[in-house]
A and B are shown apart, each in its own frame.
Chain A
């Protein structure tokens, strides 16, 4: 157990280091003036201000010292300063992150629950026509880039059918209005999450189905649904957990794209605006936050895995 735990901790620490290094190194090793990368390209400044910034950002000091200062900044919540938006990056992200988490959280909940349950059913009943149809639909949806899925749903339900509003979520702070605005983006992301989990769960139930233990349970007279949801599911869900960590980054970035399409005021639009004007501090800060979230998601999945599968630690999974 300790050996595995140690290995896991080393890997998480190493990934954090890589993430921090990416954020720290890129502005400094890119060809061109690092100041430009640290304040953003389109900010127009005089040479004096530039020189002043150079000192203020610590760029005249040796690299190890810069790294130390940078690390200290990150640890105290200082993610840099956006000269475009005249605001610290941390507070920019802090203002928007709630909306993104709301979108991601709701969709993950819906998408995972629906995907796992119906994926299990589809794998169990893999010979049925309806199961095959659902699998086909799952493959199709997972083949559409998330932003395109958003674009298609947006043009159908907002432009053509006018069922949902264009934008303006933030003017009326009333729960029904928020739900009305969030419904379609949540549906889009949930659909996407649902399709991916459906396929993973299906594959994993198909494998488990051919094991001997469901057969034995059947021979003891346990009804099919009980075998599926009481026996097979518990084993079959493990790949979903392993996949959750990997998927998290993907789903999160999918959420960013969906925000852009639906003009939600979350991290995605922040990122989109930052890309257009090459606001590097914001981009770096965003990457740092998303990457740390991904690491946390991994840890969470690891812990959950240990709860569901008692064999963890024995076989070194």
Chain B
């Protein structure tokens, strides 16, 4: 249990930042000060091109970055698990169709597709969640399906059928718990990669400019002189937050692998 401590503590810190930003942040994101200030006692990370306190911005940005990650992870997991369960349980044409669809989603290059969609749609956070979720379920569906196929004809499933349990009971109470251990690390990894995608899209200026996320902040720093002025204290805090956030979430998956002897793949 001890090895889960550090990642869980990090996630707890981020969660607090996301839920109660007002309690931690010294200022609100709307307060303006002198622009391009170097770090001092009042502004620990200085101020940006619009005179906003960078530390407060980083804290307020947590909510959106985490939310987009987890929500797209949830969308992908729900779709992927359902499709995987159905495709694995059924052996008819439905399985073929679902796996065909999965393979196609697998082949499509995700980030370029998201970029072109975002360019046409200028998406808000909800749309981004939906798009990222809809493009990431395929790996979940594949592992779930192969696991279901493994256990479909296992003795314990036959025994349950013999004892008179219904198909629904068997799928949800016998098979789903067996599949669950492979779904958890996938959820974590999809979440992490959604956070990376969000940050990347924001960096290209493809997210809603009125909301702040860590990616938007880095993009601002890159485009509005933070980089040329060597203001590392501008882009470094959000960058560190992304890295630590993704790392904490991903390491949960890897620790789980050690615990459950399941080998996860990114």
List B residues 192-210 near A (Cβ within 8 Å): 192, 196, 199-200, 203-206
Stretch of B24-32, B156-164, B245-253 with 4 or more beta carbons under 8 angstroms from chain A:
B245-253
Contacts A196-B266, A207-B263; is A148 near B112 (CB within 8 Å)?
Answer: no
**A237 vs B130: C-alpha distance when bound (angstroms):** 34
* Chain A residue at smallest Cβ distance from B244: A143
A151–B116 touching, CB < 8 Å: no
B108–A283 touching, CB < 8 Å: no
Contacts A152-B239, A257-B203, A294-B108; is A142 near B100 (CB within 8 Å)?
Answer: no
**A291 vs B111: C-alpha distance when bound (angstroms):** 10
Stretch of A67-75, A80-88, A177-185, A272-280 with 4 or more beta carbons under 8 angstroms from chain B:
A272-280
Mask: chain B, 239-262; 1 = CB below 8 Å from A; 0 = not: 100110011001100100100000
Stretch of B166-174, B176-184, B227-235 with 4 or more beta carbons under 8 angstroms from chain A:
B227-235
Interface secondary structure of A, over-half rule:
helix
A139 contacts B by Cβ under 8 Å: yes
Contacts A15-B108, A276-B205; is A148 near B116 (CB within 8 Å)?
Answer: no
**A146 vs B205: C-alpha distance when bound (angstroms):** 16
Count class of interface residues, chain A: 35 or more
B119–A203 touching, CB < 8 Å: no
A203–B264 touching, CB < 8 Å: yes
Partner of A144, one of B120, B139, B243: B243
A148–B218 touching, CB < 8 Å: yes
A284 contacts B by Cβ under 8 Å: yes
B257 surroundings in chain A (CB, below 8 A): 203
Contacts A239-B265, A257-B203, A275-B115; is A252 near B109 (CB within 8 Å)?
Answer: yes
A204–B263 touching, CB < 8 Å: yes
Q: A142 to nearest B CB, angstroms? A: 6
B110 contacts A by Cβ under 8 Å: yes
**A278 vs B117: C-alpha distance when bound (angstroms):** 12
Partner of B104, one of A14, A140, A278: A14
A265 surroundings in chain B (CB, below 8 A): none
B232 surroundings in chain A (CB, below 8 A): 155
Q: B142 to nearest A CB, angstroms? A: 10
Q: A205 to nearest B CB, angstroms? A: 10
B100–A143 touching, CB < 8 Å: no
A-B contact count (CB 8 A): 137
A99 contacts B by Cβ under 8 Å: no
**A252 vs B110: C-alpha distance when bound (angstroms):** 10
* Chain B residue at smallest Cβ distance from A19: B108
* Chain B residue at smallest Cβ distance from A145: B196
Contacts A148-B199, A246-B106; is A283 near B247 (CB within 8 Å)?
Answer: no
Interface secondary structure of B, over-half rule:
helix
A294–B107 touching, CB < 8 Å: yes
* Chain A residue at smallest Cβ distance from B238: A148
Of the listed residues B103, B108, B113, B119, the one surrounded by the most CB atoms of chain A closer than 10 A to its CB is B119
**A145 vs B197: C-alpha distance when bound (angstroms):** 8
Partner of B111, one of A142, A155, A249: A249
B112–A286 touching, CB < 8 Å: yes
A234 contacts B by Cβ under 8 Å: no
A287 contacts B by Cβ under 8 Å: yes
A26–B242 touching, CB < 8 Å: no
B222 contacts A by Cβ under 8 Å: yes
Q: A134 to nearest B CB, angstroms? A: 14
A300 contacts B by Cβ under 8 Å: no
**A57 vs B93: C-alpha distance when bound (angstroms):** 41
Of the listed residues B121, B139, B196, B235, the one surrounded by the most CB atoms of chain A closer than 10 A to its CB is B196
B108 surroundings in chain A (CB, below 8 A): 15, 18-19, 249, 291, 294
A27 surroundings in chain B (CB, below 8 A): 120
**A226 vs B96: C-alpha distance when bound (angstroms):** 41
Partner of A145, one of B222, B242, B250: B242
Q: B234 to nearest A CB, angstroms? A: 11
- Which 9 A-B pairs have CB atoms at the shortest separation, nearest pair first? A249-B109, A253-B111, A203-B263, A143-B246, A143-B247, A15-B107, A294-B109, A145-B196, A287-B116
**22 A-B pairs (CB sep. < 8 Å):** A26-B116, A30-B121, A37-B120, A143-B192, A144-B242, A145-B196, A148-B218, A151-B218, A152-B239, A159-B230, A203-B265, A246-B106, A249-B108, A249-B111, A250-B110, A250-B111, A253-B112, A286-B112, A287-B115, A294-B109, A295-B107, A298-B107
A residues near B (Cβ < 8 Å) are 7, 10-12, 14-15, 18-19, 22-23, 26-27, 30, 37, 139-140, 142-148, 151-152, 155, 159, 196, 199-200, 203-204, 206-207, 239, 243, 245-246, 248-250, 252-253, 256-257, 260, 271-272, 275-276, 278, 280, 283-284, 286-287, 290-291, 294-295, 298
B residues near A (Cβ < 8 Å) are 96, 100, 103-104, 106-113, 115-117, 119-121, 139, 192, 196, 199-200, 203-206, 218, 222, 227, 230, 232, 235, 239, 242-243, 246-247, 250-251, 254, 257, 263-266
- Besides A253-B111, A253-B200, 13 more A-B contacts (Cβ < 8 Å) are A11-B103, A22-B113, A23-B116, A139-B251, A145-B200, A147-B203, A151-B222, A155-B230, A248-B109, A252-B109, A278-B119, A291-B113, A294-B108
